[in-house]
Amino acid sequence: MANPLTGPRIAPKSGVAKQLVVFLHGYGADGKDLIEVGRQWQKILPDAAFVSPNAPEPCAMSPMGRQWFGLTMRDPNERWVGVTKARPSLDAFLDAELQAANLPDSALALVGFSQGTMMALHVGLRRPRAPGAIVGFSGVLVGPEHLAEATARTPKGEPPPVLLVHGEADETIPVEAMFSSAEELGKANIPTQWHLSRGIGHGIDGGGLLHGGMFLASSFGVRLPTR
């Protein structure tokens, strides 16, 4: 059995967790890469607990970093094989975190970057019960031909809301990936919003962070602060 995932976390500012935001980092990074986003979102999500697990494998191309799955760029199916293989460990982590916080799946949000976005979409859309939201920065939907598997639904029978954010000048995963992913999700009747960060490469700018935080607040039904 794989070792359980661990990583940095931030307790809710209010002291009591009503939502759980899980960050999924990119290839070659680790949980520390995204956890500070939680501090920036605390003002609009004071009841959220934030956790950023380290991916399960050491990164072959970056020994100090981690990977959700290996990338050789030689096998056209390696992304699909990778997300499928990595899914059980992430699902187990999410189940344990929700149970520990005594929260329902509707209080869960998955926020990914790059390879982490691939995982957030793959796992979040296939959970037994839909998470409250999925936010993907600078990533892509893996295996759109398999979206019939994306059966995660709320108690009302609705799929989870999705926000995709991408840099216009991304050379690692071109911005076309965001548009094609949104189109495929739309065909599968999965509500998807998107935000284009002008002049930004493979990264997250202030506008993208603001959109992501506001999207989570809206998805959770959290009233935004007036000042």
Q: Is position 143 within any domain?
A: yes
pLDDT band with cut points at 50, 70 and 90 for residue 1: very low
pLDDT of residue 3: 58
121 inside domain: yes
Report the pLDDT value the prediction gives residue 223, as an integer from 0 to 100: 87
Is there a catalytic annotation at residue 202?
yes
Residue 160's pLDDT is 97
Domain containing residue 82: CATH number: 3.40.50.1820
Residue 211 falls in the annotated catalytic set: no
Quote the CA–CA distance of 132 and 186 in Å, as a whole number. 18
Question: For the chain, what percent of residues have pLDDT higher than 70?
Answer: 97
| Entry pTM | 0.96
Q: How far apart are CA 219 and CA 147, in angstroms?
A: 22
Residue 3 located in a structural domain: no
Set 91, 146, 195, 202: catalytic member: 202
Instruction: Tell me if 26 is assigned to some domain.
Output: yes
Q: For residue 122, what are its two tokens?
A: 């793959």
Of 52, 105, 170, 181, which is the active-site residue? 170
The predicted model gives 130-138 an average pLDDT of 98
Q: Which domain holds residue 175?
A: 12-101+113-220
Is the pLDDT score of 123 beyond 50?
yes
Do the strands 57-58 and 66-67 form a parallel or antiparallel pair, or are they unpaired?
A: antiparallel
Is residue 49 in a domain? yes
Could you tell me if residue 82 is inside a domain? yes
What confidence category does residue 227 fall into, taking pLDDT thresholds of 50, 70 and 90?
A: low
Question: Does residue 93 fall inside a structural domain?
Answer: yes
Number of structural domains (the chain) is 1
Residue 107 resides in a domain: no
**Residue 111 CB neighbours (<10 A):** 29
Under 8 Å CB-to-CB from 92, ≥6 apart: which residues?
Answer: 4
Q: What is the pLDDT of residues 40-78, one digit of tens each?
A: 999 999 999 999 999 999 998 888 899 999 998 778 899
From 52, 106, 114, 181, the catalytic residue: 114
d(CA 3, CA 73): 27
- 33 assigned to active site: no
